[in-house]
């Protein structure tokens, strides 16, 4: 197993290019199951979660060919199985994203129950209730969700906002007979990207980007899906901006879309940071400028466009070096504070009371720490950059799931970071 050795008190400078968004690429790859023809998908992040999902599609019989590290051609015409096997699904719960497309195209989908993960139980009850409402029979057999039936449009009202739940239903609705209305839909940029890819393939979708979607299905007609370019990863971008903030350095991220980072940039500004933004759309550049003083803040995670839960751990690391006392309230996941104990081992002063963390800003000191989930791992890397001394972050396979070439990107910004063998 590998670990990262990181020298503290880093001063960063320069700029790095942000990769395509893992959480957009995953549903967009699944969406290709609905296609009549092979589809080229570009700007894929070179991370293990993407490789896992492409392995899953190949396992179903699709032909998947990488043209380069960031471009693949996926041909769904060879799919001859509707069973997403445990051995692959257990590696990545987002495999549930093949449920809607398989069911829509083949009238059947068997997906191993994803199981929980470090940040929570991660149920899929809302996904299943929705496809059942669309006419599928749903049963659990030997740890697999087995869905079967011809899909028809339905009115779906989500009790909780679910990103992959919304994506699954939108993809299922695209081929259903009739119109599907979704109330309380997720409106993350990644959900918008899925809707836009379907719309450009001729699927009628109203309300894209809002919490109410209306999809008119093609009644089983497969789609002519155009070449897809994955949107920038707003969470990767936010993570690197946090690296600039926690070391109080001026750094830039390029190939990003500031419009996807509204709540995050506002929170940085609350803490005393300023920005220079240039370019436009997905090809913009954001430069973070050092703060005279890093101020404490109050964070509450909510669904988009609110402050993203996927940035909670990274900002908690930042509050550890702020002046004063901050609070972080995690409202989406029941156990997304796994980074707290590790940050406290680095000298942080964080107290937990249910889903609220209180952080007294101060100094951090290097230590051996353990990554537990993707975003918690990145928070430990950020803390290590600011801490005195050297930090070793263990179990970094978590990081490799969602951060492309992390040590190369940090080294390019001037960090002293090595990937070593345990």
* Three-state helix/strand/coil letters over 56-89: HHHHHCCEEEEEECCEEEEEHHHCCCCEECHHHH
Which residue bears the tokens 């023809």? 37
Query: Is beta strand 417-421 parallel, antiparallel or unpaired with respect to 390-394?
Result: unpaired
Distance CA 326, CA 312 (A): 12
Of 218 and 309, which CB lies nearer to ligand EPZ in the complex structure?
309
How near is the Cβ of 122 to ligand EPZ at its closest, in Å?
6
* Beta-strand runs (E) in 228-380: 228-229, 250-256, 274-278, 284-289, 298-300, 325-329, 349-353, 356-360, 368-370
160 binds ligand EPZ (CB under 6 A): yes
Neighbouring C-beta atoms of residue 79, cutoff 10 Å: 21
333 binds ligand EPZ (CB under 6 A): yes
* The two three-digit tokens of residue 393, written as one number: 């972050």
**Single residue of 310, 342, 404, 407 touching ligand EPZ by CB under 6 A:** 310
Of 110 and 167, which CB lies nearer to ligand EPZ in the complex structure?
167
How near is the Cβ of 100 to ligand EPZ at its closest, in Å?
12
Q: What is the DSSP string of 223-249?
A: B-PPPEEPPB-HHHHHHHHHHHHHTT-
Of 189 and 244, which CB lies nearer to ligand EPZ in the complex structure?
189
According to DSSP, the residues that pair with 87 across neighbouring strands are none
How near is the Cβ of 386 to ligand EPZ at its closest, in Å?
22
DSSP helix/strand/coil, 50:
helix
332 binds ligand EPZ (CB under 6 A): yes
Site stretch for ligand EPZ (CB under 6 A), options 71-79, 159-167, 358-366, 388-396: 159-167
Site stretch for ligand EPZ (CB under 6 A), options 116-124, 211-219, 220-228, 292-300: 116-124
What b/e readout covers 278-310, taking b as 16+ CB neighbours within 10 angstroms? eeeebebbbbbbebeebbbbebebebbeebbbb
Of 12 and 242, which CB lies nearer to ligand EPZ in the complex structure?
242
Q: What part of residues 340-399 is at the interface with ligand EPZ (CB under 6 A)?
A: 374-375
407 binds ligand EPZ (CB under 6 A): no
Q: What is the DSSP letter of 299?
A: E
Enumerate the active-site residues.
117
- Picking from 199, 254, 161, 266, the residue whose alpha carbon sits closest to that of residue 34 is 199
95 binds ligand EPZ (CB under 6 A): no
How near is the Cβ of 310 to ligand EPZ at its closest, in Å?
5
**Applying CB under 6 A, what is the total number of residues that bind ligand EPZ?**
23
Q: What part of residues 11-30 is at the interface with ligand EPZ (CB under 6 A)?
A: 23, 26
β-sheet with 228-229: strand ranges across: 63-68, 71-75, 39-42, 228-229
Of 7 and 90, which CB lies nearer to ligand EPZ in the complex structure?
90
Q: What is the DSSP letter of 161?
A: -
Distance CA 350, CA 149 (A): 50
91 binds ligand EPZ (CB under 6 A): no
How near is the Cβ of 12 to ligand EPZ at its closest, in Å?
23
How near is the Cβ of 363 to ligand EPZ at its closest, in Å?
28
How near is the Cβ of 375 to ligand EPZ at its closest, in Å?
5
274 binds ligand EPZ (CB under 6 A): no
Of 104 and 379, which CB lies nearer to ligand EPZ in the complex structure?
379
Of 23 and 252, which CB lies nearer to ligand EPZ in the complex structure?
23
**Which helix (H) or strand (E) element contains residue 168?**
helix 163-174
Site stretch for ligand EPZ (CB under 6 A), options 8-16, 32-40, 156-164, 376-384: 156-164
Residues that bind ligand EPZ (CB under 6 A): 23, 26, 94, 120, 122-127, 160, 162-165, 190, 309-310, 332-333, 374-375, 402
């Amino acid at each position: 197993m590998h670990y990262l050795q990181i020298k503290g008190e880093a001063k960063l400078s320069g700029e790095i290019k942000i990769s395509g968004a893992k959480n957009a690429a995953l549903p967009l790859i699944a969406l290709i199951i609905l296609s009549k023809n092979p589809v080229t998908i570009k700007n894929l992040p070179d991370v293990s979660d993407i490789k896992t999902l492409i392995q899953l599609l190949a396992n179903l019989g699709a032909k998947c060919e990488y043209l380069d590290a960031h471009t693949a051609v996926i041909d769904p015409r060879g799919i001859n199985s509707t069973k997403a096997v445990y051995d692959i699904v257990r590696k990545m719960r987002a495999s549930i994203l093949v449920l809607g497309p398989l069911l829509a195209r083949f009238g059947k989908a068997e997906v191993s129950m994803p199981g929980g993960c470090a940040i929570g139980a991660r149920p899929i009850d809302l996904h299943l209730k929705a496809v059942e409402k669309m006419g599928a029979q749903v049963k659990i057999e030997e740890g697999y969700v087995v869905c079967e039936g011809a899909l028809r449009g339905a009115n779906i009202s989500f009790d909780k906002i679910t990103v992959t739940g919304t994506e699954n239903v939108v993809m299922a609705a695209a081929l259903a007979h009739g119109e599907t209305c979704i109330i309380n839909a997720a409106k993350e940029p990644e959900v918008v990207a899925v809707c836009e890819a379907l719309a450009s393939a001729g699927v009628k979708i109203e309300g894209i980007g809002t919490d109410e979607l209306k999809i008119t299905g093609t009644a089983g007609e497969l789609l002519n899906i155009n070449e897809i370019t994955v949107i920038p990863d707003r969470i990767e971008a936010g993570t690197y901006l946090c690296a600039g903030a926690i070391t109080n350095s001026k750094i830039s991220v390029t190939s990003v879309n500031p419009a996807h980072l509204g709540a995050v940039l506002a929170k940085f500004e609350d803490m005393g940071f300023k920005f220079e933004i240039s370019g436009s759309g997905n090809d913009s550049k954001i430069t973070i400028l050092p703060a005279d003083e890093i101020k404490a803040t109050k964070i509450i995670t909510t669904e988009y466009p609110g402050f993203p839960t996927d940035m909670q751990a990274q900002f908690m690391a930042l509050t550890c070096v702020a002046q004063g006392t901050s609070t972080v309230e995690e409202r989406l996941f029941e156990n997304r504070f796994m980074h707290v104990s590790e940050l406290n081992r680095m000298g942080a002063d964080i107290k937990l009371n249910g889903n609220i963390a209180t952080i007294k800003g101060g100094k951090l000191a290097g230590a051996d720490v353990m990554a537990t989930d993707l975003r918690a791992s990145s928070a430990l890397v950020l803390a290590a950059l600011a801490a005195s001394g050297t930090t070793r972050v263990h179990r970094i396979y978590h990081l490799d799931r969602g951060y492309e070439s992390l040590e190369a990107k940090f080294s390019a910004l001037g960090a002293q970071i090595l990937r070593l063998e345990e």
